[in-house]
């Protein structure tokens, strides 16, 4: 059973922030939220992960709700090269990554 | 970080034949993972390859169909045996992703695009 629910697809204008939601209502206390993306014809690429607190790195920000049942990946200034499938994954220590369907983000000029 | 090289990058094979995919990592790793990505689909874990022991297969995947070798800490192979058109997929090798320390990101190879005709 999928642990996460994401919209199938989203569009975003170039230069604007892309906000990608993810629902993980059955997340348990020791499970982390991971985000990966897969650009066409490439292997998945790690973006960011978090447990409870919001996280930010050079690629993106991750906002996790207080009840941890959902999160949002934010690409602050989307570029055409951010067009990809974005996967939200819930896992605990030692477990392998289980990919769901992901969100196909299309950044448009 | 880890750099992963997969060979071949793509191949077209006849049904009934077998193809061995190689995965080379630039550092020593305990576990290596093999995924399959069918056309238009997400990634599905096939098996975990541990050095010095037999691979651990996920539900729906068997050793006779997908034999795996792991001769050392930097190399693994996945063989797709007795291929049929349904095996046409991208096969990806991955390392990392275990644990919750700061080095918990997983790294993926570029994949092997297999077409069975």
Q: How far, rounded to the nearest angstrom, does the alpha carbon of residue A25 sit from its chain's CA centroid?
A: 15
- The DSSP-derived string for A81-99 is GG-EEEEEEEEETTPPP--
Nearest-CA distance B103 → chain A (Å): 11
Query: Which residue is closest to A42 within chain B, CA to CA?
Result: B110
| DSSP symbol at A57 | -
How confident is residue B31, by pLDDT bands cut at 50, 70 and 90? confident
**CB-CB under 8 Å, A43 with B48:** no
- A1-13 pLDDT, tens digit per residue, is 458 999 999 999 9
Query: In a mutagenesis test of the B interface, which of A3, A36, A44, A87 is the best target, namely the one with the most B β-carbons within 10 Å?
Result: A44
Identify the residue with better confidence: B40 or A20.
Answer: A20
Decide which of B51 and B115 is more confident. B115
Closest chain A residue to B47, measured at CA: A96
Chain B residues close to A44, C-beta within 8 Å: 43, 92, 106, 108
How far is it, in rounded angstroms, from Cα B40 to Cα B58? 21
Shortest CA gap A91–chain B (Å): 9
Higher pLDDT, A31 or B38: B38
The partner residue sitting opposite A43, judged by closest CB among B42, B44, B92, is: B92
**Quick one: closest CA in B to A34, which residue?**
B105
């Amino acid at each position: 059973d999928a642990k996460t629910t994401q919209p199938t697809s989203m569009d975003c204008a170039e230069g604007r922030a892309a906000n990608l939601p993810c629902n993980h209502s059955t997340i348990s206390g020791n499970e982390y939220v991971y985000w990966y993306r897969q650009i066409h014809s490439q292997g998945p690429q790690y973006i960011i992960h978090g447990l409870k607190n919001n996280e930010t790195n050079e690629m993106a920000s991750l906002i996790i709700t207080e009840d941890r049942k959902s999160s949002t990946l934010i690409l602050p200034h989307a570029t055409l090269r951010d067009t990809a499938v974005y996967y939200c994954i819930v896992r605990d220590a030692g477990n392998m990554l289980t990919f769901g369907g992901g969100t196909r983000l299309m950044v448009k000029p | 970080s880890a750099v992963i090289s997969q060979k071949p990058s793509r191949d077209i094979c006849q049904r009934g034949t077998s193809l061995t995919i190689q995965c080379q990592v630039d550092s020593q790793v305990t576990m290596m993972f093999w995924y399959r990505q069918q056309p238009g689909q997400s990634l599905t874990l096939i098996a975990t390859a541990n050095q010095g022991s037999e691979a651990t297969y996920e539900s729906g995947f068997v050793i006779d169909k997908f034999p795996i070798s792991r001769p050392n800490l930097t190399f693994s192979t996945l063989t797709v045996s007795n291929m049929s058109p349904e095996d046409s997929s991208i096969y990806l090798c991955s390392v990392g992703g275990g644990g919750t320390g700061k080095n918990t990101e997983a790294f993926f190879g570029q994949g092997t695009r297999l077409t069975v005709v």
